[in-house]
Amino acid sequence: MIEISTPMKVHDKEFEVFINYQDILDNIKSMAYQINEDYQGRSPLFIGVLNGVFMFAADLMKEITVPSEISFIKLASYQDLASTGQVKELIGLKEDLSGKDVIIMEDIVDTGETMHHLWQQLKALEPRSVEIATLLLKVDVFKKDIPLKYVGFKIPEKFVIGYGLDYNGHGRNLKDIYQIKE
């Protein structure tokens, strides 16, 4: 059966279905299976990066069978007056990470800049291990030297929304992942 999807208008842009919810769930199940295998006998602490991760985190955690903890953080961006670059400050982390097996959950990794920052900040808190689980990876633009152990979908360099991801605040509630129509 050929599925014809109607384009979705969000603000001034049109989007079309790119990955449907069932495919997302199947992919997440495979990822969870791998994590459950890898963490046998351990009890990882999952840390989700808000806001975009909320749907991925919820669906992934339902499939995790090893004993685990879950926490969320936010990255607040601000312009450092002393430098030209954007600084991303980690807020909301209450847990003591020392000796813990941390798994960072992220909705999308693009250049890897954000994850690189986060990775360094979490490493400095001396957990036993830190791994990254991202649902989406823009594989052609990713250029950081950080290990992405669990990757759901490798996608092209096109803006996506839905399943937690927004375009100027809208689209996070969409069940499927949509790609910008050009």
153 binds ligand 5GP (CB under 6 A): no
The four Cα atoms 169, 170, 174, 180 give a dihedral, to 10 degrees, of -100
Candidate list 45, 47, 104, 109; residue touching ligand 5GP; CB under 6 A: 109
Any catalytic annotation for residue 110?
yes
112 binds ligand 5GP (CB under 6 A): yes
Q: What is the DSSP letter of 6?
A: P
Candidate list 97, 114, 134, 177; residue touching ligand 5GP; CB under 6 A: 114
Residue bearing tokens 């982390």: 93
Burial 88-121 (b: 16+ CB within 10 A, else e): bebeeeeeebeebbbbbbbbbbbebebbbbbbee
108 binds ligand 5GP (CB under 6 A): yes
Nearest residue (CB) to ligand 5GP, 97 versus 109: 109
Nearest residue (CB) to ligand 5GP, 39 versus 155: 155
Catalytic member of 96, 110, 145, 166: 110
Minimum distance from residue 33 beta carbon to ligand 5GP (Å): 25
Minimum distance from residue 113 beta carbon to ligand 5GP (Å): 4
Distance (Å) of CA 170 to CA 37, 49, 52, 59, 164? 36, 18, 11, 21, 10
Coil, strand, or helix at residue 57?
helix
Q: Do 34 and 147 touch, CB atoms closer than 8 A?
A: no
Candidate list 95, 110, 139, 153; residue touching ligand 5GP; CB under 6 A: 110
How many residues sit close enough to ligand 5GP to count as binding (CB under 6 A)? 14
Tokens (6 digits) for 139 = 């594989």
Which range binds ligand 5GP by CB under 6 A, 14-22, 62-70, 91-99, 103-111? 103-111
Element (H, E) at 58: helix 54-62
Minimum distance from residue 66 beta carbon to ligand 5GP (Å): 26
**What amino acid positions are annotated as catalytic residues?**
110
Q: Which residues bind ligand 5GP (CB under 6 A)?
A: 52, 108-115, 159-161, 165-166
